[in-house]
Amino acid sequence: MLDFDSALSQLLAQARVSVAVETLPLNQACGRILATDIVSQIAVPAFDNSAMDGYALNVGEAWPADFALVQRIAAGEVGQALGEGDAARIFTGAPIPSGANVVVMQEDCRCEDGRVSIAQEVKLGANIRLRGEDIQTGTVILPAGTRLSAAAIGLAASIGVAELQVKRRLKVALLSTGDELVEPGQPLTAGKIYNSNRYAITALLDDCIITDLGIVPDDAALTSDILARAAKDHDVLITSGGVSVGEEDHVKAAVEQLGSLNLWKIAIKPGKPFAYGRIGECDFIGLPGNPVSSFATFLLLVRPFLLARLACLNLEPPRFKLTAAFDWKKPGNRREFLRGRLNANGQVEIYPQQGSGVLTSLVWGTGLVDIAIGETISAGDTVSFIPLNAMR
């Protein structure tokens, strides 16, 4: 079996970057991968402006007893130059008038009979946002490969960009295998189970164009035919189940017949029967059938692979060093990813049942605890924690 790091490295090396792009308005681009650098054509702020409501002052060589109030400047207005000893009533975001060298917040000022006095002197330059202090003209504010967050969309809007060129979404075919599977809403007869993987993986592929091929029975010829047809029209083909070594597991053999299988069996738990190959120009990914194995291997392996195909800058999720609130005295021969969450003390606890079929552990947990091969953990040890929401 291949170790996890080697498997991920080999998988990413197989990721051919898609060249297809499209242009979208800002309100449709969140979550997409930016295809080109975004260079600001303006400075932000575009002019010196007030950081708060107060009074803009022209302080000479020494602070006078008070200042003459000569004008009022609201946001969107342009005031007149201030002479030495003059003051302007100013509001947040309004342009700083020429001659002003400080803004004092209104709570620290008193205005009577057209004169402004302050409670105490403040540092010159205080409360003035300088032109370009956030963004300088010509700066790359968002490099190609950025996965566009809500904040990134706002940043693009702040420099006047109305549209973004993004990577076109990958076309993914998804199918489940197994005579034992029944769709939710249907009667559950003896020996049958509901198909949870179909819905969980579909939800994880919400940034792809999905063709749902449903459930494929355990039939070798039918499996081969469906895989061949799906591979012609899709970038990636993902199956759930059928890549193990049982007599009714036909997917692995079909892929080897139709194309090539480059990865099979990884030393991780959950998720050993994971497969990668290619049918023509279509990437094939075989997920395990057990629901936790399917979910975890998608997050740990498939998500980085899909992002690599779109030339995303950040492929792997952040990891945090946290203190264990549990004991793990079962050294294994596979790298384990335990479902865990932070307790009230900021330490990591794990779900009591870590079986690959215990889907409740993923709802209960907020992340995966990465346990190395042969490693044991005692409460108080430092562990590596990967948040689930960082792998979406």
Q: What is the pLDDT of residue 243?
A: 66
Question: What is the model's pLDDT at position 167?
Answer: 98
CATH code of residue 152 = 3.90.105.10
pLDDT of residue 252: 86
* Between 348 and 391, residue with greater pLDDT: 348
Query: In terms of residue numbers, what domain contains 35?
Result: 21-44+133-167
Query: Could you tell me if residue 351 is inside a domain?
Result: yes
Residue 248 has pLDDT above 80, yes or no: no
Q: Per-residue pLDDT averaged across 369-383, rounded? A: 97
Do 59 and 30 share a structural domain?
no
| Mean pLDDT (whole number) for 268-279 | 93
Predicted confidence at residue 265, as pLDDT, reads 87
Q: How far apart are CA 248 and CA 182, in angstroms?
A: 17
Lowest mean per-residue pLDDT among 59-68, 154-163, 238-247, 331-340: 238-247
Answer yes or no: do 63 and 144 share one domain. Answer: no
What is the average per-residue pLDDT within 264-285? 93
241 or 68, greater pLDDT: 68
Q: d(Cα 105, Cα 99) in Å, to the nearest integer? A: 18
What confidence score (pLDDT) does residue 217 get?
85
**Quick check: is 314 in a domain?**
no
Is 392:312 a contact under the CB 8 Å cutoff? no
Edge-to-edge order in the sheet of strand 171-177 = 209-216, 171-177, 236-240, 282-287, 275-279, 260-264
Per-residue pLDDT at 179: 85
Q: What is the CATH number of the domain that holds 334?
A: 2.40.340.10
Does residue 211 sit in the same domain as residue 294?
Answer: yes
- Number of structural domains, the chain? 4
Is residue 292's pLDDT more than 70?
yes
315 in a structural domain? no
pLDDT 10s digits, 105-156? 999 999 999 999 998 889 999 999 999 999 999 999 999 999 999 999 999 9
Joined tokens for residue 334: 């596979």
- pLDDT exceeds 80 at position 246: no
The verdict on residue 217 lying in a domain is yes
> Residue 284: which of 167, 204, 169, 173 has the closest Cα?
173
**Are 285 and 180 contained in the same domain?**
yes
| Helical spans, DSSP H, in the chain | 4-13, 150-158, 196-204, 220-232, 251-258, 291-297, 303-309, 360-364
pLDDT in tens, 255-271: 999 999 988 889 999 99
Please tell me the distance from the alpha carbon of residue 63 to that of residue 77, in angstroms, as a whole number: 27
Do 180 and 221 belong to one domain? yes
197 and 259 fall within a common domain: yes
Q: Which residue has the tokens 């100013």?
A: 90
Q: What are phi and psi of 241, to 5 degrees?
A: 90, 165
3-state SS class at 163:
strand
The verdict on 338 and 304 lying in the same domain is no
Q: Do residue 274 and residue 143 come from a single domain?
A: no
Q: Last residue of a domain, which of 287, 309, 331?
A: 309
pLDDT surpassing 90 at residue 247? no
